[in-house]
A and B are shown apart, each in its own frame.
Chain A
Amino acid sequence: MCTLPTDDGLTYVMGAPKGFSARPLLPFDSGVRGFLERLSARLMDDAATRAMPDVTSFAWWCRRANVERLAKDYGDGALRIGRGLAFHVTPANVPVNFAFSWAFSLLAGNANVVRLPNRDYPQTAFMVGHIGALLDEERFSELRAMNAFVAYGHEERITGAFSAIADARIVWGGDATIQTIRQSSLPPRGIDVCFADRTSLCVLGAARMLEAGSESLERLASGFYNDAYIMDQNACSSPRLVVWLGGDAEAEEAGDKFWNAVRAQVERRYRLAEVASVDKFTQACRDAIELDCVTEMRRGDNRIYRLRLRALTGETANRRCGSGYFYEYVAANLDEIATIVTSAYQTLAYFGVPREDLASFFRRNRVRGIDRIVPVGEAMEIGLIWDGYDLIRTLSRVCQVH
């Protein structure tokens, strides 16, 4: 048992500083699995969950069948155990991210202190309520002593106090946050897992797009909508660059077909904020001024901006306009994109391109970026392997037994 830091500026939203236990568990501990299973059921049973798709997706993720499936990938026989205390700094702009970060670390076997987003999201309060109520049950008393959710401003002394006792620190960026948090040092054996600002792209095969029937087209467009628009294109895995593979004429025709289908989704499902409308227009003007390779802008209206590029440029990776603003390029072959795939790129979502071609592109070009290659529609599916890290293996340690 130990005592966690206290401070006037610090609130323990769940858990308490006294009587905290940082004694680790083995990964996929049966108690943790039982807890997640109950949490999933509890969330699913609450009618309010249905109105919150992000909470629903968390509840669905931590259901028993899924966690069992995940556990299979770690049955390599190695003797592993959680690192100890994990300190999570979760992003302000994604309401349920804290829960995933916490659940991953819990499955790896760690005790956790999670700094909640400062903004008041109904989802956050809702989930914290359910998690807290469940931990209060007697059978989860060991887990209760291992977990605390905290809220504080940006006080460096508080970040410093938690960092000083953390065996692992998980920081969900952006880059500026990571820089700030890193000013506080970890114990000598402490590790940082930092999720920096990233960008993502989408590769579409023009020929396959032209063949697509209306049903698969609609599924694709819906998937693309989920990848790009659900988080206002602000997620690291949301595509910002769309690369067509094929000839110019073919890509032109395929583009019309695809974007018309996306437009139908967007018109039905997306509400463009007035400020986003100004932001996107302003970004287009900046691009006109700064990027020589922009040849054309297409926007039926302000919900979808398509900036056609004559040539690929690394510049577009740094531009994070959001709310449905896409750079678009027609490539004769996949290798063309190798030149711009820096470490800034996280997810490559694809349609109409053989998966083997993408993996061999990766091997052949030994690109510094791209941590995930997933079908269009799965870009937002967060998992135990994220941003190139295997979180179970990273957040646990191995005991060699010879």
Chain B
Amino acid sequence: MSAMTVDRPATVEDLLGTPPFSMEDAAKRAVYARALSALTHCHFERCPEYRRIASLLGYRPGDKLEREEIPFIPVRLFKEYELRSVERSEIVKTITSSGTTGQAVSKIYLDRATAAHQTKVLVKIASSFTGSKRLPLLIVDSPAVIKDRALFSARGAGILGFSMLGHDPTYLLDENYRIDFARLDAFLEKHRGGKILLFGFTFVIWEHLCQTLQGAGRQLQMDGILIHGGGWKKLASLAVDNPTFKRTIAETCGVSRVCNYYGMAEQTGSIFMECEQGVLHASVFSDVIVRDPVTFDSLKSGHAGLLQLISLLPMSYPGHSILTEDLGEILGVDDCPCGRKGRYFRVLGRVKNAEARGCSDVHAPH
């Protein structure tokens, strides 16, 4: 924790040395007040659109703000404007969040430092669940997702990010989104007896793994951990909830450790992970605030409202504090029986009638 004693705000680099779920909320509040005040000032100076919004919201450059006072901007703005805090020449990667077909797409501009932080932080957070030993990785998706794309999709970014966590990354689905059983059998044979890591997007796993196996009457016996994210919207419409999902995974794949994550393309990297208790945790790199929809006051544990997500990662675009269109509630602070510190929460779903969005709730055409 030496980062907190030096006379500058803690940065992502400083925190990479800290176990990702070790910081108690009181300490985090102090760290975040300074770090977020500095980030806000930085985006205010560098992103003209953000400067205008922050000014209208009453922010003055140099303001020293508490975590709850940091301005936030609606996530929808990333679909409508090019929000950048660096010169175009410094952009190394643009992440697009694929909305539902026909909808506007978020564009997230990454410079080298932000892109590197996303990868490092993702590995840091996820490996605290999977263990530091890199496991064989089975990607429940098609290689088509990362090929032939002028822009980099959030789904592709997730796949490449998680690829860092495992070795021998292998795609389960072929170009037509069908299980490549030959490839699967070879993979399982090769890594027989050991644990494996499965990664994929929630609805892709449901539709192309669970349903296919059920339809084919096949049962796999895999020993390992499944990490999945991307949103529940499609599954909610099929009345599939998290317990059903977990049970089905156990039945069809034999995998009993299933871990959901929650995150936005606007804050790639600093994802919120579901623990053994089935609740989502903020890591040292991110935080969550629940806002009353009428007043925008921050709400205490047990009160549902709009989720505001905070991340220390965004340097090249003003996404460090965003208001989502998701409802949720904080369930507690520092005292989850799983032992992880900081805030833990659950997501209750999208606000009604909101423009349907999600970081990857869509397929490539197939």
For window 293-327 of chain B, which residues contact chain A by CB distance below 8 Å? 293-296, 306, 323, 325, 327
Residue from B77, B295, B327 in contact with A282 in the complex, judged by beta carbons closer than 8 Å: B77
| Cβ of B13 under 8 Å from chain A | no
Q: A285-B73, A285-B77, A302-B296 are in contact. Are A273 and B56 (CB under 8 A)?
A: no
| Cβ of B52 under 8 Å from chain A | yes
A302 to B53, CA, bound (A): 16
B293 partner residues in chain A, CB cutoff 8 A: 272, 274, 277-278, 302
Q: A274-B306, A278-B306 are in contact. Are A289 and B353 (CB under 8 A)?
A: no
**By the criterion CB–CB under 8 Å, are B56 and A284 in contact?**
yes
A273 to B80, CA, bound (A): 23
Least CB distance from A211 to B in Å reads 32
Interface of A is mostly: helix
Residue from A284, A296, A301 in contact with B294 in the complex, judged by beta carbons closer than 8 Å: A301
Least CB distance from A325 to B in Å reads 14
| Cβ of B24 under 8 Å from chain A | no
Interface string of A272-300 (1 = CB under 8 A from B): 11110110011011111100001011000
**By the criterion CB–CB under 8 Å, are B323 and A301 in contact?**
no
| Cβ of A303 under 8 Å from chain B | yes
Interface string of B51-90 (1 = CB under 8 A from A): 0110111000000000000000110110011000000000
A294 partner residues in chain B, CB cutoff 8 A: 56
Least CB distance from B218 to A in Å reads 42
**By the criterion CB–CB under 8 Å, are A302 and B295 in contact?**
yes
Least CB distance from A372 to B in Å reads 30
In the complex formed, the residue of A with least CB distance to B355 is A275
B55 partner residues in chain A, CB cutoff 8 A: 288
Q: A289-B81, A301-B294 are in contact. Are A278 and B53 (CB under 8 A)?
A: no
Interface of B is mostly: mixed
B49 partner residues in chain A, CB cutoff 8 A: 289
| Cβ of B352 under 8 Å from chain A | yes
Residue from A278, A284, A285, A297 in contact with B354 in the complex, judged by beta carbons closer than 8 Å: A278
**By the criterion CB–CB under 8 Å, are B74 and A281 in contact?**
yes
| Cβ of B30 under 8 Å from chain A | no
| Cβ of B351 under 8 Å from chain A | yes
**By the criterion CB–CB under 8 Å, are B296 and A275 in contact?**
no
A296 partner residues in chain B, CB cutoff 8 A: 56
**By the criterion CB–CB under 8 Å, are B52 and A286 in contact?**
no
The contact size tier of chain A is 20 to 34
Least CB distance from A272 to B in Å reads 6
A296 to B73, CA, bound (A): 17
**By the criterion CB–CB under 8 Å, are A275 and B52 in contact?**
no
A274 to B304, CA, bound (A): 11
**By the criterion CB–CB under 8 Å, are A278 and B74 in contact?**
yes
A281 partner residues in chain B, CB cutoff 8 A: 74, 296, 323
A294 to B57, CA, bound (A): 12
In the complex formed, the residue of A with least CB distance to B354 is A275
A277 partner residues in chain B, CB cutoff 8 A: 293-294, 296, 306
B327 partner residues in chain A, CB cutoff 8 A: 274
Least CB distance from B294 to A in Å reads 5
**By the criterion CB–CB under 8 Å, are B296 and A301 in contact?**
yes
A301 to B305, CA, bound (A): 15
Interface string of A286-323 (1 = CB under 8 A from B): 11110000101100011100000000000000000000
A287 partner residues in chain B, CB cutoff 8 A: 56
**By the criterion CB–CB under 8 Å, are A303 and B351 in contact?**
no
A272 partner residues in chain B, CB cutoff 8 A: 293-294
Least CB distance from B356 to A in Å reads 12
Q: A272-B294, A302-B293, A302-B294 are in contact. Are A278 and B56 (CB under 8 A)?
A: no
Residue from A278, A284, A302 in contact with B325 in the complex, judged by beta carbons closer than 8 Å: A278
A284 partner residues in chain B, CB cutoff 8 A: 56
A301 to B296, CA, bound (A): 7
A303 to B293, CA, bound (A): 10
In the complex formed, the residue of A with least CB distance to B352 is A275
A302 to B73, CA, bound (A): 14
A289 to B351, CA, bound (A): 25
Residue from A274, A286, A302, A303 in contact with B80 in the complex, judged by beta carbons closer than 8 Å: A286
B351 partner residues in chain A, CB cutoff 8 A: 273-275, 278
A303 to B295, CA, bound (A): 8
A275 to B351, CA, bound (A): 6
A278 to B323, CA, bound (A): 8
In the complex formed, the residue of A with least CB distance to B297 is A301
A303 partner residues in chain B, CB cutoff 8 A: 294
Interface residues of B (CB under 8 A from A): 49, 52-53, 55-57, 73-74, 76-77, 80-81, 293-296, 306, 323, 325, 327, 351-354
7 tightest A-B CB contacts, nearest first:
A288-B56, A274-B351, A282-B74, A301-B295, A274-B293, A277-B293, A288-B52
**Can you identify 27 A-B contacts, CB atoms within 8 angstroms?**
A273-B352, A274-B293, A274-B351, A274-B352, A275-B325, A275-B352, A275-B353, A277-B294, A278-B74, A278-B76, A278-B323, A281-B296, A281-B323, A282-B76, A285-B73, A285-B77, A288-B52, A288-B57, A289-B49, A289-B52, A289-B53, A297-B56, A297-B57, A301-B294, A302-B294, A302-B296, A303-B294
